[in-house]
Amino acid sequence: MMTRSTANTHDTAPRLFVPAPLRDGAEIAASPEHAHYLGGVLRRESGDVARLFNGADGEWLARLTFARRDRLTFSVEQQLRPQTPEPGPWLLFALLKRDATDLVVRQAVELGASRVLPVITTRTNAARVNDVRLRAIAIEAAEQSERLTVPSIDPPARLDAVLAAWPADRRLFAAIERSHNPPPPARTGPAALLVGPEGGFTQTEQAWLSGLPAVTPISLGSFVLRAETAAAAGQTLLLAMGWAEYVAPNLKRTPESPSTPCPTP
């Protein structure tokens, strides 16, 4: 018969983001939301464990102690993973309606984006975001995807203002629909993806982007994608071509062999 201690293994223990410092022996008061989630939803009890991370100190195992169902203390016991950098590509996307924006942020975190920048273009049909809501979505996605960091989410800004201060060493791949641009090359280094609004960039915006030194226009294929689909597809493409420094070296494609054919049986 499986006991509670063996059933609640490290790999299957709930994983939560906490703002407190994490170190051996630390005692952390859980938020009411975490206490309700662990005690009321997951039916965890005192003596069970959870995995905690804060974006700075790695991932730690903590023992649960319930004073009552809505009062919980985390007793930090051991580090499971040291903190490592996660310098994934940035994502710039033309702000969308609420549900679509939520999806873009969630998928961006799951796909390793290190910074998310909502931008306003000519055809953008929204101008505001709920900062608290998007932060909560990003944290939940980081917990689920086992990231050690939660990417920053910038407040919405005009695209021209963002690109006026663009860092010279970060390549920006602009996804242009109905174009014959090639996909991004296989390479490593700081990168970002720009996805336009519903209806795409205007001709004026496309010409302007093509003339910027840091911008490389790319195509995501022959089909016209929804904006939220294009964001996920573009990020996946950058990952596949090696534009994420934290991807294990054996998983990166090298510039010398960007499209090695499969062996013939």
Residue with tokens 């919405």: 156
The mean pLDDT value for 108-130 works out to 93
Residues 6 or more apart in contact with residue 241 via CB below 8 angstroms: 183, 184, 185, 186, 187, 253, 258
Structure tokens at 196: 């336009």
What pLDDT score was predicted for residue 145? 95
- pLDDT of 2 above 70: no
Compute the distance between CA of residue 100 and CA of residue 97 in angstroms, rounded to an integer: 6
Q: What is the pLDDT of residue 245?
A: 57
Contact assessment for residue 197 and residue 217, using Cβ atoms and an 8 Å cutoff: no
pLDDT higher than threshold 60 for residue 184: yes
pTM for the structure as a whole: 0.84
Domain 90-251 in CATH 3.40.50.460: no
Question: What pLDDT is attached to residue 182?
Answer: 73
CB 22 within 8 A of CB 55: no
More confident residue, 6 or 120: 120
Q: What CATH superfamily classification does 9-81 receive?
A: Hypothetical PUA domain-like; domain 1 (2.40.240.20)
Q: How many whole angstroms separate alpha carbon 182 and alpha carbon 192?
A: 16
Q: Supply the pLDDT for residue 9.
A: 66
Fold match flag (9-81 vs 90-251): no
- Mean pLDDT (whole number) for 167-186: 85
Residues 79, 60 contacting (CB under 8 angstroms): yes
Tell me which of 26-35, 65-74, 90-99, 190-199 is least confident: 65-74
| Phi, then psi, of 161 in degrees rounded to 5 | -70, -40
Mean pLDDT, range 48-65, rounded to an integer: 97
pLDDT attached to residue 52:
98
Question: Would you list the domain boundaries of the chain?
Answer: 9-81, 90-251
Distances (CA, A) of 202 to 94, 129, 180, 225, 234: 13, 23, 16, 16, 19
